[in-house]
Structure 1
Amino acid sequence: MRGGSKVVVDPHKHKGVFVAKAKEDALCTRSMNSGESVYGEKRVSVQAPGQRVLYLGAASGTTVSHVSDIVGPEGLVYAVEFSHRSGRDLVNMAKKRTNVIPFIEDARQPARYRMLVGMVDVIFSDVAQPDQVYSSH
């Protein structure tokens, strides 16, 4: 994204998400680790709402890093990933973001990690299999 001083940042309808308006518009989140990017993304700092999120299908954590930015230092992201290979990257990303708690577990088996996950405001499911869902029962 280009624009330098010509970039205008406006709040999005969702708290913690912003729109950077330049030659091309882009969505922005607040960085929990300013000065360092996860995958070479541009960074914008804003206030965040501090919610708790259960993220199922966290993969290597690129999208989780944005959710971490959105909830801010007062929030928390429980990130569940089944793959050990992707999970290594997720754990390494979480070392630099104190509001991300990674779990290398099967999202279809919440009994394995439910005692470690507190109450959440939002459940986000980004899983590869349609039967990988979280049930509150």
Structure 2
Amino acid sequence: MQVNRIGENVYQIDNQIATVNLTPGVQVYQEKLLDYEDKQFRLWNPRRSKLAAAIINGLSIFPFKDDSKVLYLGASAGTTPSHISDICTNGRIYCVEFSATMMREFL
């Protein structure tokens, strides 16, 4: 397994991307968990996250840091916000969702 850091708490593992799991052993959306050295990674599915797809397609500026404050619009089921939470471990994430159905599932 080849692991390369590509951003703050974001890694390329072989041909996929992953974040360092903030809560080891916990899956948010049945994503695959990988243990490597002293870290556990959550594979980030680009078919479920536009941000993951953008990273895979060469996103040139990755604005998220460990202490970032993020307003995430369109949280849906929480896939992308959960990975942002892995990245911004000392920051804050505020999520907004318009759909009552999705918000009920998100909570």
**TM class, shorter-chain normalised?**
0.5 to 0.7
What residue in structure 1 maps to residue 10 of structure 2?
17
Aligned: 1:62 with 2:56: no
Q: Could you say what the CA RMSD is over the residues aligned between the two structures, in angstroms?
A: 1.8
Using the alignment, how far apart are the partners of 2:24 and 2:100 within structure 1? 27
What residue in structure 1 maps to residue 103 of structure 2?
87
* Alignment TM-score, normalising by the size of structure 1: 0.52
Relative distance call for 1:75 and 1:43 in structure 2 (3 A) is farther
* Alignment TM-score, normalising by the size of structure 2: 0.65
| Alpha-carbon offset, residue 79 of structure 1 | 0.6
Q: Note the residue ranges of structure 1 that are not aligned, 5 or more in a row.
A: 1-6, 92-137
| Alpha-carbon offset, residue 35 of structure 1 | 0.6
Matches of residues 41-52 of structure 1 in structure 2 within 5 Å? 41-43=31-33, 45=39, 49-52=66-69
Give a deviation string over 1:31-75, Cα, whole Å, max 9, x none. 2221111111123547x7221111001011011111111111x12
Q: Secondary structure at the match of 1:68?
A: helix
Aligned residues: 79
Q: Note the residue ranges of structure 2 that are not aligned, 5 or more in a row.
A: 41-64
Q: Which of these two proteins has the greater Rg computed from alpha carbons?
A: 1
More strand by share: 2
